[in-house]
């Protein structure tokens, strides 16, 4: 997606453009990293220079391939400029562990990249920096005096060694910082390597057919490490079956060759596979470093075929509090009054109204940028295929068969959609929950009731979840399901949507993988990041479309409570992302169904409530917001909640014979649900909520409590 603000004329005053991308002249360079699954494929260059054209350096610089792969970049400085440089500025995709990558400036010593040798920019630093959750990081490397010279300088990037998972990294952007922190090199120094210029390495039909056959059947080894074992999986098993993901996200020819060699194939075989991928006639709007479905303004104005490409790294905010402006802008009345320049947070307090949080409204989370960088495509892909992890337990399971085999419960997903039955969408989408139930049965069979978690077991279990997610993307893309929301939800529903809860089911916590050394990513922080990221993806792809039932498709109290779990690890407040989730929770039910519909109607005691803005455990999350903004948000959220409550009589909430709510959210989530909001009246007053609104809350509470006592609820 281009950084051209003309693409987003309605939100130009709000857009937080990436300084890194703009100042390096990267209009479209916005996407991902190289966590290596079974057959993800990358670039190998050894001791060569990055492509240059008339003094320009082509980016990204792909440093991918065998251990020791080195790529050089030439930077020319004018007379006197070298004395003003204090640091090398880098935006790097795919550095996953300390000392994976090294940088050399001219003939100086090689400097391994680690959290101690570079300064990681926020929010990536709070999410663990190198070895944390984010795939792409902005970092600065201090340079001593004399390391650079006027004239031509050579910056060398080296991939030191693989850990058996990654194959290198990409330098998306680079520059030199002066003593006053400004970037020295103009945007014209750099030019983007654009996929539309790529061609198949071997364009003849025979090579393309051979590449397709290799994609489906080639025997692979686990990695490029010595004595690496042979594996059962083929490229098509961990990726989309036809390879469309590599085309869609624009993995380069050289990267495909390098990754093919990583898995034991020859250079020629890699070129044949690359030629097959280039020949695919599928959309290709993505890039490897741009997180799929990353939200951002203008997303809905892009074709549905571009949705999975995401809004790009330029829309990952430096601080989450800036999302509040975008939240407010979705209120049409407020957006008409917001100034056309980038507003300061304190300037929008007067624009905040209950309409933003109205339960009968329809906030669009796809259009609101957040500071959480979602997983890139490589993080979607399993590190080990289920048949290599579980053998016959998997291959003979109902879970595997529901994807593309023969099942006792009906056609497989691929057969169902490929066979022309997709016309009856409502019937077809029931196959997805059937697939999820089959996964649960599989886990009950292969796992102990209380498994002894280890990194190895976590990898095997989590790879099952990732495999199902990738194959869901495959089916959704191949059979054009994302654009068919109106067929299921009607013309008033969301047209672009998924039809399942598989994103949320990918979260480590969904299978009780614990946070800590045995968690995904090897740390509590990384594990909580993936919990948050996959739940966020669920909200973006399928949040119920006003047709919530019981606690599906999103258990809002649990998901929103998880914000505290993540904050405990990162100490990075996310008030904007949180309030988007709170709003979607309030909007999860059908506006036409009242409290008398216990499963699908408005039930304030079973949802998140406005106390989240005044509850002490949640105060650190909202701390970055100016007091006037917090006051306005608290007043508006409570006002919207009360307006909805007063649409119905107290007897409707509490009919005779109603049983108590057995659902009890974890106490650590800070009292954000349960319905007794009036007990926080003093806290609302202390937060500056007008007395008249608090009085309405108290009066409603008296009536509610009196009715509950009379029917012994």
Residue 586 in contact with residue 636, Cβ under 8 Å?
Answer: no
* Stretch 277-281: mean pLDDT: 97
Residues 575-625 have pLDDT tens digits of 999 999 999 999 999 999 999 998 899 999 889 999 999 999 999 999 999
Please tell me the predicted confidence (pLDDT) of residue 49.
67
Please tell me the predicted confidence (pLDDT) of residue 196.
94
What residues does 103 pair with on adjacent strands? 111, 157
Residue 149 in contact with residue 39, Cβ under 8 Å?
Answer: no
Token pair for residue 463? 């790879």
What residues does 156 pair with on adjacent strands? 72, 104
What residues does 178 pair with on adjacent strands? 85
From 111, 71, 69, select the one nearest 88 (Cα to Cα): 111
Q: How far apart are CA 533 and CA 522, in angstroms?
A: 16
Q: How far apart are CA 604 and CA 466, in angstroms?
A: 34
Please tell me the predicted confidence (pLDDT) of residue 382.
98
Determine how β-strand 168-178 pairs with β-strand 61-64: antiparallel
User: Please, which residues have CB within 8 angstroms of residue 70's CB and are 6 or more apart in sequence?
Assistant: 45, 46, 47, 48, 63, 156, 157, 158, 159
From 394, 527, 398, select the one nearest 453 (Cα to Cα): 527
- 3-state SS class at 127: coil
Q: How far apart are CA 481 and CA 95, in angstroms?
A: 34
Name the maximum alpha-carbon separation found in the chain.
87
Determine how β-strand 85-93 pairs with β-strand 136-142: antiparallel
Residue 178: phi, psi to the nearest 5? -85, 175
Per-residue b/e over 172-201, b at no fewer than 16 CB within 10 Å? Answer: bbbbbbeeeeebbbeeebbbbbebeeeebb
To 5 degrees, how large is the angle CA 594–CA 598–CA 600? 70
Intra-chain end-to-end CA distance of the chain, in Å: 54
Please tell me the predicted confidence (pLDDT) of residue 334.
55
- pLDDT above 90 covers a percentage of the chain that reads 77
- 3-state SS class at 175: strand
Q: How far apart are CA 51 and CA 54, in angstroms?
A: 10
Residues 202-236 have pLDDT tens digits of 999 999 999 999 999 999 999 999 999 999 999 99
Whole-structure pTM value:
0.91
Residues 310-347 have pLDDT tens digits of 999 999 999 999 999 999 988 755 555 555 445 577 78
Average the pLDDT over each of 39-43, 79-83, 672-676 and give the range with the smallest value: 39-43
Task: Give long-range contacts, CB 8 A cutoff, 24+ apart: 396-399.
Answer: 397/438, 397/442, 397/445, 398/438, 398/441, 398/442, 399/435, 399/438, 399/439, 399/441, 399/442
362 class by beta-carbon count within 10 Å (0-12 exposed, 13-18 middle, 19+ buried): middle
Residue 293 backbone zone (phi > 0: left; psi -120 to 50: alpha; other: beta): left
Residue 274 pLDDT > 60: yes
- 3-state SS class at 334: helix
Token pair for residue 307? 């949705």
User: Please, which residues have CB within 8 angstroms of residue 244's CB and are 6 or more apart in sequence?
Assistant: 280, 282, 474, 477, 478
Token pair for residue 255? 């990267």
Residues 429-439 have pLDDT tens digits of 888 999 999 99
User: Please, which residues have CB within 8 angstroms of residue 399's CB and are 6 or more apart in sequence?
Assistant: 435, 438, 439, 441, 442
In 10 A of CB 369, how many CB atoms?
27
Please tell me the predicted confidence (pLDDT) of residue 14.
29
To 5 degrees, how large is the angle CA 227–CA 230–CA 233? 145
Average confidence score pLDDT of the chain: 89
DSSP string of 573-639?
A: --HHHHHHHHHHHHT-S-TT--TTSTTTS--GGGSB-GGGGT-GGGHHHHTTS-HHHHHHHHHHHHH
* Stretch 58-87: mean pLDDT: 96
CA atoms within 13 A on the CB side of 580: 32
Please tell me the predicted confidence (pLDDT) of residue 409.
77
Name the range with the highest mean pLDDT among 39-48, 175-184, 702-711. 175-184
Q: How far apart are CA 426 and CA 181, in angstroms?
A: 56
From 36, 297, 56, select the one nearest 168 (Cα to Cα): 36
60 upstream amide cis, omega within 30 of 0: yes
Residue 439 in contact with residue 464, Cβ under 8 Å?
Answer: yes
Residue 660 pLDDT > 80: no
Residue 150 pLDDT > 80: yes
- Residue 407: pLDDT band by 50, 70, 90 thresholds? confident
Q: How far apart are CA 378 and CA 392, in angstroms?
A: 26
Residue 375 in contact with residue 316, Cβ under 8 Å?
Answer: no
Residues 241-271 have pLDDT tens digits of 999 999 999 999 999 999 999 999 999 999 9
Residue 656 pLDDT > 60: yes
Residues 105-137 have pLDDT tens digits of 999 999 999 999 999 999 999 999 999 999 999
Domains of the chain and any CATH numbers = 21-196 (2.60.120), 597-713 (no CATH)
Residues 506-555 have pLDDT tens digits of 999 999 999 999 999 999 999 999 999 999 999 999 998 888 888 889 99
336 upstream amide cis, omega within 30 of 0: no
Residue 28 pLDDT > 60: no
Residues 287-309 have pLDDT tens digits of 999 999 999 999 999 999 999 99
Determine how β-strand 61-64 pairs with β-strand 70-77: unpaired
Residue 9 pLDDT > 60: no
* Stretch 90-117: mean pLDDT: 97
In 10 A of CB 74, how many CB atoms?
13
628 class by beta-carbon count within 10 Å (0-12 exposed, 13-18 middle, 19+ buried): middle
- Residue 36: pLDDT band by 50, 70, 90 thresholds? very low
In 10 A of CB 336, how many CB atoms?
9
Please tell me the predicted confidence (pLDDT) of residue 220.
98
């Amino acid at each position: 997606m281009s950084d051209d603000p003309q693409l987003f004329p309605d939100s130009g005053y709000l857009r937080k453009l990436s300084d890194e991308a703009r100042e390096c002249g990267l209009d479209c360079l916005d996407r991902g990293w190289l966590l290596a699954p079974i057959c993800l494929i990358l670039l190998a260059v050894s001791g060569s220079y990055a492509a240059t054209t008339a003094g320009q350096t082509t980016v990204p610089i792909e440093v991918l391939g065998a251990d020791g792969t080195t790529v050089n970049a030439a930077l020319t400085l004018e007379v006197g400029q070298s004395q003003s440089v204090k640091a090398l500025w880098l935006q790097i995709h795919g550095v996953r562990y300390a000392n994976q990558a090294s940088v050399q400036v001219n003939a100086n010593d090689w400097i391994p990249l680690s959290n101690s040798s570079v300064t990681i920019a926020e929010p990536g630093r709070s999410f663990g920096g190198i070895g944390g959750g984010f795939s792409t990081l902005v970092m600065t490397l201090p340079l001593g005096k004399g390391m650079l010279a006027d004239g031509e300088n050579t910056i060398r990037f080296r991939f030191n060694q693989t850990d058996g998972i990654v194959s290198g990294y990409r330098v998306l952007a680079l520059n030199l910082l002066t003593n006053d922190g400004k970037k020295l090199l103009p945007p014209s120094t750099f030019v983007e390597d654009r996929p539309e210029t790529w061609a198949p390495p071997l364009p003849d039909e025979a090579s393309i057919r051979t590449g397709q056959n290799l994609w489906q059947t080639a025997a692979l080894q686990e990695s490029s490490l010595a004595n690496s074992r042979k594996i059962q999986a083929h490229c098509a098993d961990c990726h989309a079956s036809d390879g469309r993901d590599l085309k869609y996200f624009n993995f380069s020819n050289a990267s495909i060759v390098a990754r093919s060699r990583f898995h034991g194939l020859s250079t020629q075989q890699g070129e044949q596979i690359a030629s097959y991928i280039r020949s695919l006639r599928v959309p290709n709007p993505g890039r490897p470093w741009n997180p799929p479905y990353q939200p951002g303004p203008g997303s809905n104005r892009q074709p549905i075929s571009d949705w999975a490409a995401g809004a790009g790294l330029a829309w990952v905010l430096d601080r989450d509090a800036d999302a509040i402006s975008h939240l407010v802008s979705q209120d049409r009345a407020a957006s008409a009054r917001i100034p056309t320049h980038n507003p300061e947070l304190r300037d929008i307090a007067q624009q905040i109204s209950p309409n933003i949080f109205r339960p009968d409204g329809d906030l669009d989370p796809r259009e609101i940028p957040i500071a959480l960088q979602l997983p890139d495509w490589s993080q979607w892909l399993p590190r080990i295929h289920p048949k290599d992890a579980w053998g016959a337990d998997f291959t003979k399971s109902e879970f595997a068969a529901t994807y593309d085999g023969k099942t006792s419960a009906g056609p497989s997903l691929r057969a169902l959609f490929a066979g022309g039955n997709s016309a009856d969408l409502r019937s077809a989408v029931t196959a997805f929950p059937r697939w999820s139930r089959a996964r649960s049965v599989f886990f009950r069979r292969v796992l102990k009731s209380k498994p002894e978690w280890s990194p190895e077991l976590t990898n095997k279990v989590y790879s099952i979840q990732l495999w199902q997610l990738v194959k869901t993307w495959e089916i959704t893309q191949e059979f054009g399901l994302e654009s068919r929301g109106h067929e299921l939800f009607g013309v008033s529903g969301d047209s672009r949507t998924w039809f399942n809860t598989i994103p949320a089911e990918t979260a480590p916590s969904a299978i009780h993988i614990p946070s800590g050394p045995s968690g995904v990513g090897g740390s509590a922080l990384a594990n909580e990041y993936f919990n948050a990221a996959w739940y966020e993806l669920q909200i973006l792809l399928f949040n119920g479309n006003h047709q919530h039932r019981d606690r599906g498709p999103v258990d809002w109290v649990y998901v929103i409570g998880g914000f505290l779990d993540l904050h405990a690890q990162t100490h990075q407040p996310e008030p904007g992302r949180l309030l988007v989730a709170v709003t979607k929770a309030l909007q999860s039910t059908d506006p036409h169904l009242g409290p008398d519909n216990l499963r699908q109607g408005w039930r304030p005691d079973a949802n998140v409530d406005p106390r989240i803005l005044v509850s002490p455990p949640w105060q650190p999350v909202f701390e970055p917001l100016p007091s006037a903004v917090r006051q306005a948000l608290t007043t508006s959220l409570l006002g919207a909640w009360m307006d909805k409550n007063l649409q119905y009589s107290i007897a409707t909430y509490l009919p005779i014979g109603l049983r108590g709510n057995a659902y009890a959210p974890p106490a650590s989530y800070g009292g954000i649900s349960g319905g007794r909001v009036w007990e926080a009246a003093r806290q609302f007053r202390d937060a500056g909520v007008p007395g008249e609104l608090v009085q309405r809350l108290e009066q409603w509470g008296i009536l509610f409590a009196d009715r509950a006592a009379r029917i012994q609820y």
